[in-house]
Structure 1
Amino acid sequence: MKTQLLVFAMITSVFATQMQGQNRTTVQALNSEISDNLDLRVVASIFGDSKNLRDFERRLNDPKLQISNLDLNNDDQVDYLRVIECVENRTHVIIIQSVLDCDLYQDVATIEVEKDWGNNVRIQVVGNTYLYGQNYIYEPEYYYTPLIYASFWISNYRPYYSAWSWNYYPSFYYAWNPFPVFRYRYNVNNCLNNYTYNHYNYVNYRSCNYAANIYNSRRSNGYERQYPEYSFSRRNSQVNNRYELDQIRNTRNVGSRNDVGYSNNRTEYPRANAPQRNDSQRDYSQNRTEYPRANAPQRNDSQRDYSQNRTETPRANTPQRNDSQRDYSQNRTETPRASAPQRNESPKENTQSRNPSSGDNNNSSRGNGNRRS
């Protein structure tokens, strides 16, 4: 009986350790940085390239572009991003929401567009505080004026509100599995390189005071209410927003790549082995160079004597052949010069003798023609 109790206790302890290991693994997965899965600069770039908000929502969820990599509900499928709009006077607030479940949405970012009385348009892309931290804002500068601006300030404008919801998506859309972060960044860089003339300036303040009040009236935070402990401030307690987190990451990457001590160790390692190998190579190279030099004189002497004999033979025969050719060439050239005047005079005489006859013939022919007439 005691042995059975001991075996049972051991089994329960093994299951307990396994459950603890699983819980630790789950916590590590949930602590991954959520903001790595959606770059707001790409959101700003496709917004400036869209015709209207319907086209903008299509580009956000295009399976070919794959702008988003968010999977907030952990179903191993990238969430659909829907777009809704709030308008007040000359201010448009476009809200991007992640569809998590039936009637469950989480705000990801907002695009705030305002037109002042001087007809100057100012735009800001603001990241959600829960995902990106406090005041994570980009101001895009477009090389060309976006076409979407023309659709905002028209008469009888109706704010856009997406008709799609959970399990009810447009025909072009199909869900895809999320990628690793490094692969998503590679895709994002390719998309940003296509818009090289645009600039995305980071700021930490909002230019429109009315936009915050408009947004608060239509706010959706379903994921935030479910997991309040996974906010950006708790995931990254040392920084305020995603921009500061990127600065820390860049300094760490530069320090690890440009570490002087590490580079010196790598360069000194082959230098320490170089002398032993170079000494053997130098002795061997000298022996090889001296070996052909010792054999070279015997072979070169025979070649030089033989080459001189071959060159002297044609030189002795050349004078006799050249004299005969020169005499013969002079005889040939003098002959046509002596006969040339005779041949030139004969054609002149013939032409003179022929001309009267030809004239008579012409006169005769003309006379015959008159007689006939």
Structure 2
Amino acid sequence: MKAKLQLVALITTFFALQINAQDRTTVNAMNSEISDNLDLRAVSSIFGESQNLKDFERRLNDPRTKISNLDLNDDNQVDYLRVIESIEKSTHIIIIQSVIGRDLYQDVATIEVEKDRSNNVSIQIVGNTYMYGQNYIYEPEYSYTPQIYASLWINSYQPYYSSWTWNYYPSYYYSWTPYPLYRYRSNIYGCVNYYNKYNYVNYRRCYRAPVIYNSYSCNWYEKRYPNYSFSRRNYQVANRYELDQRRYNNNNRSRNEIAYSRNNSDYSRNNSNYNSNSQREYSQNRTSAPREYATQRVESQRDYSQNRVYTQRTEPQKDYSQRDYSQNRTNTQRENNNQSVERQRDYSENRGNYQRENNSQRSESQRNTDYSSRSSNRRI
């Protein structure tokens, strides 16, 4: 009997431990946000840079860029993402699935590409409802026409279906440990081409897409953990976009409240310091103002008296200038008198010399005439 009771106690203890372990796992899962581990804008960016869907799948799982950070099976390794496609007329539905185990897949997102009669292409990247919430959709506007568009509408085109599965991966791929969330965000920031525009919308353009998608969907993780949907994880918002807006507003509000409280404290401190300093400066100015005024008045009087003395001392310079002017006038008159006297002397001397020369010339001419007359008379 005792052995049976001990066995029953051991069995109940074992089941209790299992239930506690499951509860702990569920609690830990509920504390994380799955949609943080795959940015659909990065998916849109690499889709526009791919040549075809095979190249797109390679870029999704490139260990160098690490676009994905999903680990749905909790093996501490990032899950491989495979790509499958379905076509109906001019509509292409491209499904991205996470490989969780052998023949176990979970849909992550779909890319819906459609061409109208005017050859205009519309594209939408739609997040899975279980992971991202209702109508979480991005419409990329590429800065140039993606090359992958040309590969989707050729005459001999066949839908792409990935050949890779659990433990059977391409040679370029190797698994890696998931990043912490802050590091994954910084890594994704360097992988997104920001020359493109990523417009958020909450409606689907292609009405045939949901019908085509339902025939190819795989939701093993959703069926395994139905209580872990986005609506259960975040019951206050509808999808991931509203969650981001709520996070952004809360972060800004907390930052603004902190900055506002700091500004108020700094403002009150500055006002108190300003008031005390202004009162001190006002009292000092009142006491110092009459002193400065008196000193300025005394200095101005001193300067005025000194200027009067200096001006009286410097005024005799006018007499010197008048004396110089009178001396200059006398000197100029004397010089003029001397010059006039010298000119008169020179003129009189020249005149006397001229008269003497004329007299001498006249006397010689008379002598010559007298001599000639005498000689003529003697000949006769």
Among 232, 235, 250, which residue is 1:234 paired with?
232
- 1:317-370, Cα deviation, whole Å (9 max, x unpaired): xxxxxxxxxxxxxxxxxxxxxxxxxxxxxxxxxxxxxxxxxxxxxxxxxxxxxx
Q: CA deviation at 1:212?
A: 1.0
Equivalent residue number for residue 156 of structure 2: 156
Match of 1:264?
263
Cα offset for 1:262? 3.0
1:26 matched residue in structure 2: 25
Q: Which residue of 2 aligns with 1:201?
A: 199
State the distance in 2 between where 1:34 and 1:17 align.
29
Please show how residues 263-302 of structure 1 align to structure 2 within 5 Å.
Answer: 263-264=262-263, 267=266
**Relative to structure 1, is the Cα distance of residues 175 and 266 closer, same or farther in structure 2, using a 3 angstrom cutoff?**
farther
Partner of 1:135: 135
Q: How does 1:65-144 map to 2 (within 5 A)?
A: 65-144=65-144
CA displacement, residues 1-54 of structure 1 (integer Å, 9 cap, x when unaligned): xxxxxxxxxxxxxx9999998666534420111000000000000000000000
Q: Structure 2: how far apart are the matches of 1:106 and 1:268?
A: 56
Query: Pairwise mapping of residues 239-254 of structure 1 onto structure 2 (< 5 A)?
Result: 239-254=237-252
TM-score (norm 1): 0.66
SS in 2 for 1:191: coil
Q: Give the corresponding residue for 1:63.
A: 63
State the alpha-carbon separation in 2 of the partners of residues 29 and 139 from structure 1. Answer: 34
User: CA separation of 1:58/1:271 partners in 2, compared to 1, >3 Å: closer, same or farther?
Assistant: same
After TM superposition, give the deviation of residue 190 of structure 1 in Å: 1.5
Report how far residue 67 of structure 1 moved. 0.2
What's the CA shift string for 1:69-119, capped at 9, x where partnerless? 000010000000000000110000000000000000000000000000000
Amino acid in structure 1 at the alignment position of 2:151? S
Q: How many residues are aligned here?
A: 262
Partner secondary structure for residue 74 of structure 1? coil
Shift of 1:185: 0.8
The reply on whether 1:212 has 2:210 as its aligned counterpart is yes
Q: What 5-or-longer segments of structure 1 have no aligned partner?
A: 1-14, 279-373
* Partner-residue secondary structure (3-state), 2:261: helix
CA distance in 2, matches of 1:165, 1:239: 35
Residue of structure 1 aligned with 2:219, choices 218, 221, 236:
221
Within 2, Cα distance between the matches of 1:138 and 1:253?
24
* Local SS of the residue matching 1:263: helix
* One-letter identity of the residue aligned with 2:208: Y
**Secondary structure at the residue paired with 2:58?**
helix
The one of 249, 253, 265 aligned to 1:255 = 253
- Aligned-partner Cα distance in 1 for 2:152–2:23: 50
Q: Which residue of 2 aligns with 1:371?
A: none
Amino acid in the other structure paired with 2:94: I
Amino acid in structure 2 at the alignment position of 1:220: C
